Amino acid sequence: MTPDGFPTVGIVGGGQLARMMIQAAIPLGIGVRVLAERADDSAARVCPEVDLGSPDDPEVLLAFARTVDVVTLDHELVDLGALEAILAEGIAVNPKPATLEYAKDKLHQRTRFAAAGLPVPAFADTPTAEALLAFGEEHGWPVVAKAQRGGYDGRGVWILDGPADAEALAVEAAERGVALMAETFVPIRNELAVLVARRPSGDSVVYPVVETVQRDGICHEVLAPAPVPSDVASEALRIGERVAELTQATGIVATELFWAEDGRLLINEIATRPHNSGHFSIDGSVTSQFENHLRGVLDWPLGVTDLVTPAVVMANLLGQDLESLGPRMPATLEDGATKVHLYGKGVRPGRKIGHINVTGDDLEETRTRAARAAATMTGALG
C-alpha cells in the first residue's frame, strides 16, 4: 500500500508490457513494483521500485510478493506452483494460476476448449514420431507441431511438410525434452484478435475486433476495427468473451483467431495478460488495455473500450540502430496524429523495440500513414 492509501501492484517481468502498465498506473495513483531479471530491462528503466531476481526462483517470487498487494505478470513463463504458494500466504495473484495454465499448456487449452464447444483445429497429443506420423496420415500434410509448454509469439511452432520433417522434429524434441502436440494446418484469409478485460467478480468489457497482420511469424500491424463482415466480428467477440469466462480470466485475456478460407473462426492462441494486438488502445481507445488490466486485477470498475476515432492502426517498430532513432523522431511526428512508443530495449534482428499508433477517419488511409511513419522512424524511407 502506498503512503496515500493506494494499492501497490507487483509485476513479475520487466519487459515492455510491464513498462506500459507502469505508465497506465501513474495517473491512477497505483503503486507499482517490478521483479526484473536485469537492471536495464525495459520496465526496470522507468520504475523506481525494482527487485532484481529470477521469476524461476520460488523464494525470490515469494519475497517479492510480500512487498505488494496484488501480483500480476507481463509474461506467462512463471512456475504455477510458486504462484500457488503466494496465494497460500493470502496475497492476491491475478490472473490465477488456473487461468495461466491455459496459456502455458497448449494441450490443456485445446482439450478444455474443445470440451466446452469452442472452435479449435483438430489436434492430438503426439509424444512420439509414430504419433506425429499417424496424425499426418489421418489429417493430411502439412501438419502444425507445437511445443506443449514454453512457446509463445510464434516460438515453439513448426510446419511439417511431410513424414521426413516429422521424424526429424521428433528426434530433436526428444533430445531437448520438449513435449509436442499436433494440429491441422489451416489455410486462412487473415488473423483476428479479441481482447477482453475482466474483474474477479465476472464483470467484463470487450474491445473491438482487430486484424493482426503477420509476416514471418511476427506481428507487423494491427488494424482497428478489423475490416471483416459484421457477422464475423460478432462471432469473434462471442468467442473472445466465452474464452474469458471459461478461463476465469482477471485483467486482460487476448484470443488470437484464424479466419479460415472456408469461413470458420478457429482459436489460434490466447494470452492471459496485455497483448501486442491491444497496443493500439493506448491512443485509440477511451481506456487502454493496460489501464483496464490494472483495474481488473485490482477488482476496480472497468473502463469504456470504444475507439476514439473511426480507425486506428498500430505498426510495430522492429530492431534498428538505436542511435539513429532520435534524429528520425521529428520527421516521424510530422503527422500530428502519430504517437510513438519506444521500449528502451536493445536491438537484435526482428526484436520489437517500440510501436507507432495512428488515428484517423478511414482505415486504409490511416494504415498508409502508419506505414509511412514506421518507415520514417526505422529509416526505411532513406
pLDDT digits (tens, 9 = 90+) for 16-64: 999 999 999 999 999 999 999 999 999 999 999 999 999 989 999 999 9
Task: Report the C-alpha gap between 254 and 249 in whole angstroms.
Answer: 10
Range 8-93 classified under CATH 3.40.50.20 = yes
Tens-digit pLDDT profile for residues 190-216? 999 999 999 998 999 999 999 999 988
Tens-digit pLDDT profile for residues 248-262? 999 999 999 999 999
Topology annotation, domain 122-184: Dna Ligase; domain 1 (3.30.1490)
147 CA to centre of own chain: 18
Q: Give me the amino acid identity at 227.
A: P
Residue whose cell numbers read 513498462: 19
Task: Report the C-alpha gap between 33 and 217 in whole angstroms.
Answer: 32
Classified as helix, coil or strand, 355 is: strand
pTM, entire model: 0.95
Kindly report the CATH number that applies to the domain delimited by 188-378.
Answer: 3.30.470.20
Task: Report the C-alpha gap between 71 and 64 in whole angstroms.
Answer: 9
Mean pLDDT value across residues 162-170: 96
| Per-residue pLDDT at 381 exceeds 90 | no
Classified as helix, coil or strand, 273 is: coil
Mean pLDDT score across all residues of the chain: 94
Cβ neighbours around 117 below 10 Å, total: 8
Among 217, 133, 216, 218, CA closest to 182: 133
- The number of residues making up the chain comes to 382
Q: Give residue limits of the domains in the chain.
A: 8-93, 122-184, 188-378
| Per-residue pLDDT at 152 exceeds 60 | no
Q: Which residue has the higher pLDDT, 313 or 319?
A: 313
